[in-house]
Amino acid sequence: MRLFPARAAGVAAGALMLASCGIMGSREAKLVCPASFIAPDTDKLAEFKPGGTTLRDVEYGVQIASINSKCERADHGLLLRTKVSFRIVANDPAVRRGTFQYFVSVVDGKQNILTKRTYVMPFELDVREHATNRADELVENLPLLNTATGGDYAIVAGLQLTEAQLKFNRAGSRPPSIAIAPATSVAIPPKKSGTTP
């Protein structure tokens, strides 16, 4: 498991930043967790051979299969636990291992990015495999005195792409053998009543 901002300095900096956004308030018993989304056009990644730009040039593809977040009360607001799952498919049988990068951000209701961290995910394929699944679990502290305002924020994840990879996605192409679901909008829905388990 990775600790998102595990250091006390990181938490303190986050608290100062969020306080400057005017979200610190009085503590309430109600608990509302932020929603989680995949950023548009960043749900898939095509790793090209050197100089390649088409489907035939893809060595392997990566897709974000899911993102799930839960939260609980902490001494300083909410403790967010986020699991991001990936599917990796090799198009070139010579590919046995590799790495890719992804990011996780906390955004507010106006889609301002409050925090963003990038991670490197390695993978390895057995000689008999052409596909594998990986997952990462992250922990983030959202410093809110009023835990009922957690629904005003969202956790957004995506694959860290080059300009060529982003253009490839926006053109409607997709890595071979990967069923790509449409990217989910990052628009934050209205707050719902009741508590989140």
Region 112-117: mean pLDDT is 91
pLDDT of 8 reads 28
- Show the CA angle centred on residue 87, arms to residues 82 and 93, nearest 5°: 150
Q: From edge to edge, which strands make up the β-sheet containing 113-124?
A: 35-38, 153-159, 97-108, 113-124
* CA–CA separation, 175 and 197 (whole Å): 37
Residue 38 φ then ψ, to 5°: -100, 130
Place of tokens 């509302």: 32
Q: pLDDT digits over 46-93, tens only?
A: 998 888 777 888 899 999 999 999 999 988 889 999 999 999 999 888
* Percentage of the residues of the chain whose pLDDT score is greater than 70: 73
Contact 81, 121 (CB under 8 A): no
* CA–CA separation, 93 and 164 (whole Å): 23
